[in-house]
Amino acid sequence: MKLKKADVIVFAAHPDDAELGCGGSILKLSKEGKKVVIIDATQSELSTRGNIELRQKEAEDAAQVLKLHARENLNIHDGTISSNEEYIIKVVQQIRKWRPEIIIMPPQFERHPDHEEMHRLVRKAAFFSGLQKIETELEGEKQEPHRAKRMFCFMQTYDFQPNFYVDISDTLDEKVSAMKAFASQFHNPEKYQSDEPETFISRPGFLEMLESRARYFGEKIGVKYAEAFYSVEPIGIDSLSIFLKPNE
């Protein structure tokens, strides 16, 4: 039985997607001593603003803010994510390398088609990773099958009906710092100024929208700020007593 090397993997199409979708929840896990790994599929080389070198540096800075255990990149060309055999194997290799209990991924329906493709790619790989007859090697070593216990989707641009929320009241500020580390992508005039065209996410209003949404989700569960998730599989609980106070 191979030991797990990470508790959670967050797969994302582009560096900054994971921060945006679930940065607050990631930092909470890190602060609880859990090992979280972000695996970005591409270097986001088709982005209107910034360049690959800058984006790499920004991703490293954001990783520090979120106290990540590791951050990897699959080096798939931006705009070509799909669930072909080569890419499925790349993702299976990562799942079998890190052996996480939870896999987090982009949602099924999204504004950016790469996000949808990443969802399908990770869903397939997460399943095939558990199959004995899919054989993979990494750095010359044969890998053992592994299947995560849970698969969750974070929220990006489009809303979906969440089936649980995580309280991020204590980590929202650092989530915003992690996003602002991507100064070429989000509105951060102190760190990055250019005459490149403004994009959907570089508008000053984008971060405001994100905070408002976190506030709105927080209100639903009686806290200040929250992030919304969708569990691919139904979530069961042992007993309704988890909602009762212990006897005094």
Which chain residues interact with Zn ion by CB under 5 A? Answer: 13-14, 17
Q: Least Å distance between CB 104 and Zn ion? A: 14
Question: Which lies closer to Zn ion via its Cβ, residue 14 or residue 90?
Answer: 14
Contact 176, 211 (CB under 8 A): yes
Q: Least Å distance between CB 51 and Zn ion? A: 16
Q: Whose CB is nearest to Zn ion?
A: 14
Question: Which lies closer to Zn ion via its Cβ, residue 52 or residue 223?
Answer: 52
Q: Least Å distance between CB 50 and Zn ion? A: 13
Question: Which lies closer to Zn ion via its Cβ, residue 17 or residue 227?
Answer: 17
Q: Least Å distance between CB 56 and Zn ion? A: 16
Contact 236, 230 (CB under 8 A): no
Helices (H), the chain: 17-31, 52-65, 85-98, 113-128, 172-180, 204-220
Question: Which lies closer to Zn ion via its Cβ, residue 51 or residue 224?
Answer: 51
Question: Which lies closer to Zn ion via its Cβ, residue 14 or residue 28?
Answer: 14
Q: Least Å distance between CB 79 and Zn ion? A: 11
Question: Which lies closer to Zn ion via its Cβ, residue 13 or residue 66?
Answer: 13
Inter-axis angle of helices 172-180 and 17-31, to 10 degrees? Answer: 140
Contact 93, 138 (CB under 8 A): yes
Helix/strand/coil (H, E, C) string of 170-204?
CCHHHHHHHHHCCCCCCCCCCCCCCCCCCCCCCCH
Report the greatest alpha carbon distance in the chain. 63
Q: Least Å distance between CB 226 and Zn ion? A: 21
The whole-angstrom separation of Cα 125 and Cα 131 is 10
Question: Which lies closer to Zn ion via its Cβ, residue 17 or residue 58?
Answer: 17
Can you tell me which residue has the tokens 């984008």? 206
Q: Least Å distance between CB 114 and Zn ion? A: 6
The whole-angstrom separation of Cα 120 and Cα 127 is 11
The whole-angstrom separation of Cα 78 and Cα 76 is 6
Structure tokens at 89: 């194997």
